[in-house]
Amino acid sequence: MPEPIRTREQASHLLARILGSNQEYSILESEHGWVCRQILSPQEQNERGMGQGAYVINKATGVITEHSSAALPVIAAEFDRTTAAGRPPQGYQIHPPIPPEPAYPRTHRIRLTRTFEDQHRIGYQVDLTFLEHPNDPGISQQVEITKNPVTVTPSDRVSTTATAWAHQQSRATGTWPQTGVIEI
């Protein structure tokens, strides 16, 4: 179970334990968290290019979330705002791992098809199907994602779910997916 992380040293030790001890991190303290970004060598910076994400360690819980490549003070301010408001952070939780969902039947299918991409944006046709009601026409919409920092329009649940999945795929493979299917 995660524990409170009150000091920069505790934050550094937690990062080493969870993400690897051979990495160094720039760590910015905010009211509710520790905002961290890996320090890269010039060679690593050239290999990775733009868009290096950040991590936030919640001071009260020790939960680590992964965030966009925005500037650390911007991430810190957003994290503090959402935490103070009692809302979950915009990042994806990486520690502790979220347990797998119980084996409930999936009720929705989201299908993404890329419609355009440029240096700063990517568009998808997003189609939602209700698996329990196959004759229901579902929902279709165009979704536009700004890549850095990652934002989505419209910002409804279907669009944000599709965006989170596509962004995760792009981080894993280095390219945004052409198509994809998510069942929730």
CB 180 within 8 A of CB 112: yes
Same domain, 90 and 137: no
CB 111 within 8 A of CB 126: yes
So what's the pLDDT on residue 178?
93
Same domain, 175 and 113: yes
So what's the pLDDT on residue 103?
63
- Domain membership of residue 56 as a residue range: 8-95
Same domain, 136 and 77: no
Same domain, 29 and 86: yes
How many residues are present in the chain? 184
So what's the pLDDT on residue 34?
97
Q: Is residue 102 part of a domain?
A: no
Same domain, 163 and 136: yes
Same domain, 142 and 76: no
Q: Is residue 75 part of a domain?
A: yes
Same domain, 82 and 140: no
Same domain, 89 and 162: no
Distance in angstroms (rounded) separating the CA atoms of residues 52 and 84: 26
Extended beta strands in the chain, E state: 25-29, 33-38, 54-58, 64-67, 92-95, 108-117, 121-130, 139-147, 150-153, 179-183
Q: Which of 64, 95, 126 is the last residue of a domain?
A: 95
Same domain, 90 and 142: no
pTM of the model: 0.56
Q: Which of 46, 73, 95 is the last residue of a domain?
A: 95
Same domain, 119 and 58: no
Q: What does the pLDDT profile of the chain (184 residues) look like in tens digits?
A: 568 999 999 999 999 988 877 888 999 999 999 999 988 888 877 776 566 889 999 999 999 998 888 899 999 999 999 999 998 888 888 888 877 666 667 788 999 999 999 999 999 999 999 988 878 888 999 999 998 888 889 888 889 889 989 988 888 778 899 999 998 8
So what's the pLDDT on residue 48?
64
- In sequence order, what are the residues at sequence separation of 6 or more whose Cβ sits closer than 8 angstroms to the Cβ of residue 61? 2, 4
Q: Is residue 100 part of a domain?
A: no
Query: How many distinct structural domains can be found in the chain?
Result: 2
Q: Is residue 48 part of a domain?
A: yes
What is the sign of the dihedral through the CA atoms of 125, 130, 134 and 137? negative
So what's the pLDDT on residue 50?
62
Straight-line distance from the first to the last Cα atom of the chain, in angstroms, rounded to the nearest whole number? 27
Same domain, 85 and 15: yes
Q: Is residue 103 part of a domain?
A: no
CB 170 within 8 A of CB 179: no
Same domain, 57 and 27: yes
So what's the pLDDT on residue 88?
87
